[in-house]
Chains A and B, each alone.
Chain A
Amino acid sequence: MCLGVPGQVVAIDDAKTARGVVDVGGVRRVANLACVLEGDDPQALVGAWVLIHVGFAMSRIDAEEAARTLDLIKQLGELDDAP
């Protein structure tokens, strides 16, 4: 359920309706950013990574958390490799 794909906000199309352009692997599409606004200025979202579902950004991707998850997997493996 709920196919979602990471994309990067590359432009704001219409600040009033929180419409922006998102790039997914070199493909661009207009997306509604209303659910990921922080503060009043959508322009602040340019450069942010978000998860796109049916043309709506549903959450911002937390780069630190992503790195932490990957680190954890790495550590799990190392612990296991040890013995």
Chain B
Amino acid sequence: MTAPARPVLAEHNAAQVALARIEAKRHKKRRVQDDVVQAAHGGGGRAMRDLIEDLILPAFDHAVAEDDQARFALSDMAALGGQLAFTTDTYVVTPLTFPGGDIGSMAVHGTINDLAVGGAKPLYLSCGLILEEGLPIDLLRTILTSMGRAAREAGVRIVTGDTKVVARGKADKLFINTAGVGVIPTGLHMSARSLEPGDVLLTNGTLGDHGAAILIARGELELASPVMSDSAPLHELVQALVQAVPVRAMRDLTRGGLAATVNEWAHSANLGLCIDEPSVPVRSEVQGVCELLGLDPLHLANEGKLLAAVPKAHAQAALHAMRRHPLGENAAVVGEVTSAHPGVVTIQTGFGTDRVLDMLVGEPLPRIC
């Protein structure tokens, strides 16, 4: 109440202002200033928060994780169906961007497809990033933006995540893990064990596009071609299909291609599968790559293709349902299930001969002989 109070108050106010300025500054979102990822971006400190706030949250439409986890009302999910589907996949690809996509969109599509082929409506994804020191920030921003866009377009949300940085040489630029949660409508159950002799096998389009695009994009083989990765989310196509016909089994044809999936099915159903080679859709450029490098399109990876088995009576309806969807316009019946040669897959050639179609032993490598 006396005169000296005034300067004290002024001093106090000035300190308050300064504090507020510091706090405002501390909480202000900052753009990441560095050109490349550094150890600090994974250190749990300021640099990491900048990375999350500047790159990750905007790309993913401000994820909803509260504290250390994302939380959902069970009742909302239960309204969609009786079974929760949960899957995880880790994405490692060289190069990180390629014609038709990048590791980010692929990490979204791949996990959506893993859910979709079980009949699930995909809802939520997580995103675990392993960054190698030295990864250009601009490239990371591009990939995360693409990842967010892929999720938005597919109607799923990336709701939780994690970021680690490893020393240079301890990883190959960027690895992404996505786990996904979805709900399977009550009554829908697809499994290779449900296959029956006479069932018809269908795919939604040309095979080997992704594998060929990646081989070319690596640049080591000095090939040029307009072929693009087929990376795409298949859940809408799957929904159209399962609403149209009863589907016995479904699988997305990723690494190992069609050959891997049909062999797994033949094994788990203990039935024979027979692929009709001339009806398998393959782009001419993919065929060209295969002729040049001695590869088989049935062994090449896809990121937007599935195999479905339906009872024979529903084959045409299944084909029509798929062809009505843009991702199924090249759909084709490619084979059937048989009680002959249980556990073995054969391929019927255009010459009326058949041979065994095996899984590839290693990875598809260019050969000279």
A binds B: yes
Cβ of A29 to closest chain B Cβ, rounded Å: 5
Complex contacts, B227 vs chain A, CB 8 Å: 26-27
Q: Judging by beta carbons under 8 Å apart, are B369 and A27 in contact?
A: no
Contact with A along B256-294 (1 / 0, CB 8 A): 000000000000000000000000000011011101101
Complex contacts, B285 vs chain A, CB 8 Å: 25-27
Q: Judging by beta carbons under 8 Å apart, are B288 and A24 in contact?
A: yes
A62 and B10 CA atoms in complex are apart in Å by: 98
A17 and B226 CA atoms in complex are apart in Å by: 27
- Given contact pairs A5-B291, A24-B288, A52-B292, A29 touches B369 in the complex (Cβ within 8 A): no
- Given contact pairs A27-B285, A27-B292, A2 touches B224 in the complex (Cβ within 8 A): no
**From residue 217 to 249 of chain B, which have CB atoms closer than 8 A to chain A?**
221-227
Q: Judging by beta carbons under 8 Å apart, are A1 and B289 in contact?
A: no
Decide yes or no whether B25 CB sits under 8 A from chain A: no
Partner of A24, one of B216, B222, B291: B291
How many chain A residues touch B (CB < 8 A): the figure is 15
Complex contacts, A54 vs chain B, CB 8 Å: 368
Contact with A along B347-369 (1 / 0, CB 8 A): 00000000000000000000111
Complex contacts, B221 vs chain A, CB 8 Å: 29
Decide yes or no whether A28 CB sits under 8 A from chain B: yes
Q: Judging by beta carbons under 8 Å apart, are B369 and A2 in contact?
A: yes
A30 and B292 CA atoms in complex are apart in Å by: 12
Partner of A30, one of B222, B288, B289, B367: B222
Decide yes or no whether A53 CB sits under 8 A from chain B: yes
- Given contact pairs A3-B294, A30-B222, A25 touches B288 in the complex (Cβ within 8 A): yes
Complex contacts, B225 vs chain A, CB 8 Å: 26-28
Q: Judging by beta carbons under 8 Å apart, are B222 and A3 in contact?
A: no
**From residue 96 to 121 of chain B, which have CB atoms closer than 8 A to chain A?**
none
Residues of A within 8 A of B (CB): 1-3, 5, 24-30, 52-55
Residues of B within 8 A of A (CB): 216, 221-227, 284-285, 287-289, 291-292, 294, 367-369
8 more A-B residue pairs beyond the given contacts A5-B292, A27-B289, with a C-beta to C-beta distance below 8 A: A1-B369, A3-B367, A26-B285, A27-B223, A28-B224, A29-B224, A52-B292, A53-B368
25 CB contacts below 8 A, A to B, read A2-B368, A3-B369, A5-B292, A24-B288, A24-B291, A24-B292, A25-B284, A25-B285, A25-B291, A26-B226, A26-B284, A27-B216, A27-B223, A27-B225, A27-B227, A27-B285, A27-B288, A28-B224, A29-B221, A29-B222, A29-B224, A30-B222, A52-B292, A53-B368, A55-B222
